């Protein structure tokens, strides 16, 4: 199949269908309501489920129930909506249900604004809900990458029996770009008979299944948390994804940036190169697990005098960058949180001032 021009939000909805997920529950919120509008039309065409819930709180638990019964399910929302879903995300993580969440991030805190933002980095990677849980978080920098990540998300969610979050920003959702839906990213749903409440009669074992998160016994809760931790540790080993840029040059500075912001940084790096200034970039594609070792290695390179985290927030990812660099190089931050995106010139000015 060839490339077609699609708006990010619609492409995300289509990608889920192509990935074999036919169950979508959502609540409208700007700047991603087009996903619900698109799927309200598309899901009936493919025999899928579309349901507009009464709130993001309820939607979170509709996903819990659907995934708990063994079916692929996903939602899309934006920042304030994801805050409301965070309760369910904690329960879904504990019950180990494979659910895919897409957050097309807008500015905050509170109602904030409706322009692009990356201010939900902490919420996505450190847990917006309660308890020790982690989401596998992927951050696309283009509509095509959003499509690919959504398609991969379902098999990853099933591989780990863990929720996966696609952290986009308003620009990824609203922008139109050519996309292709790759059949090789499509995956068959895994067999869930060991744990899902998918009908005892249909299972070979004829044993009943429980989907739950309550462990009143201290030792059992400890074991549960250790099992979850082992899963998160395995993600750190197997799922780190990042894109290096201009990393083979003799760079004076290393940029760490993701999503829409990283595209501006690429332009800035290209422009500086024509002036003879070499700057490299590591673009995390997974925010959890975070590319700690690649960043430390890149920051340790001789001649690199600054590591700069460019973000559409007041400095959230920079804490993970500092943790990665471990003092091997000075770490700086620059960002905006109102909804404007720094220009390549602004990035170049900042690189100059830090080097």
- Give the residues lining the site for other proteins (CB under 8 A): 23, 25, 49, 51, 53-55, 57-71, 73, 87-88, 91, 95, 197-202, 206, 208-214
**Inter-axis angle of helices 259-274 and 344-354, to 10 degrees?**
70
Cβ proximity to other proteins: between 174 and 209 the closer is 209
State in angstroms the smallest separation of the CB of 189 from other proteins: 12
State in angstroms the smallest separation of the CB of 188 from other proteins: 17
Whether residue 290 contacts residue 318, with contact meaning beta carbons closer than 8 Å, is answered with no
Distance CA 327, CA 224 (A): 35
Helix (H, G, I), strand (E, B) or coil at 292: helix
State in angstroms the smallest separation of the CB of 49 from other proteins: 5
State in angstroms the smallest separation of the CB of 78 from other proteins: 20
Distance CA 171, CA 321 (A): 24
25's enclosing H/E stretch is strand 23-26
256's enclosing H/E stretch is strand 253-256
Helix (H, G, I), strand (E, B) or coil at 143: helix
Cβ proximity to other proteins: between 202 and 237 the closer is 202
Cβ proximity to other proteins: between 87 and 278 the closer is 87
Cβ proximity to other proteins: between 211 and 348 the closer is 211
Cβ proximity to other proteins: between 76 and 209 the closer is 209
Quickly list DSSP for 18-70: HTT--EEEE---TT-HHHHHHHHHHHHHTT-EEEE-SSHHHHHHHHHHHHHTT
State in angstroms the smallest separation of the CB of 54 from other proteins: 4
173-to-30, 109, 117, 150 alpha-carbon distances in Å: 10, 20, 12, 13
Cβ proximity to other proteins: between 201 and 275 the closer is 201
Whether the upstream peptide bond of residue 109 has omega within 30° of 0, thus cis, is: yes
State in angstroms the smallest separation of the CB of 72 from other proteins: 9
């Amino acid at each position: 199949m060839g490339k077609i021009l699609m708006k990010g939000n619609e492409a995300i909805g289509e990608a889920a269908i192509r990935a074999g997920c036919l169950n979508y529950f959502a609540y409208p919120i700007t700047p991603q309501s087009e996903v619900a509008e698109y799927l309200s039309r598309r899901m009936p065409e493919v025999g899928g489920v579309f349901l507009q819930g009464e709130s993001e709180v309820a939607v979170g638990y509709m996903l819990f129930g659907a995934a708990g019964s063994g079916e692929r399910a996903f939602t899309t929302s934006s920042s304030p909506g994801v805050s409301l879903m965070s309760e369910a995300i904690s329960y879904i993580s504990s019950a180990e249900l494979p659910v895919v969440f897409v957050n097309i991030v807008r500015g905050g805190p509170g109602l904030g604004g409706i322009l692009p933002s990356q201010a939900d980095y902490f919420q996505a990677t450190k847990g917006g809900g309660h308890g020790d849980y982690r989401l596998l978080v992927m951050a696309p920098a283009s509509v095509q990458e959003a499509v690919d990540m959504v398609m991969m998300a379902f098999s990853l969610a099933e591989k780990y029996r863990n929720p996966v979050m696609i952290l986009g920003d308003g620009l990824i959702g609203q922008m139109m770009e050519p996309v292709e839906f790759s059949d090789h990213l499509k995956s068959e749903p895994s067999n869930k008979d060991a744990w899902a409440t998918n009908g005892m009669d249909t299972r070979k074992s004829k044993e009943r299944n429980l989907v739950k998160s309550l462990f009143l016994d201290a030792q059992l809760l400890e074991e549960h948390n250790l099992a979850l931790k082992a899963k998160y540790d395995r993600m750190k080993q197997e799922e780190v994804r990042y894109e290096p840029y201009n990393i083979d040059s003799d760079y004076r500075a290393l940029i760490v940036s993701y999503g829409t912001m990283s595209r501006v940084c690429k332009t800035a790096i290209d422009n500086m190169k024509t002036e003879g200034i070499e700057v490299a970039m590591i673009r995390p594609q997974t925010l959890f697990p975070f590319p700690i070792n690649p960043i430390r290695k890149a920051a340790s390179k001789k001649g690199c005098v600054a590591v700069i985290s460019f973000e559409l927030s007041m400095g959230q990812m920079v804490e993970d960058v500092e943790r990665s660099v471990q003092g091997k190089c000075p770490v700086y931050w620059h960002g905006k949180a109102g909804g404007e995106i720094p220009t390549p010139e602004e990035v170049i000015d900042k690189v100059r001032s830090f080097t």
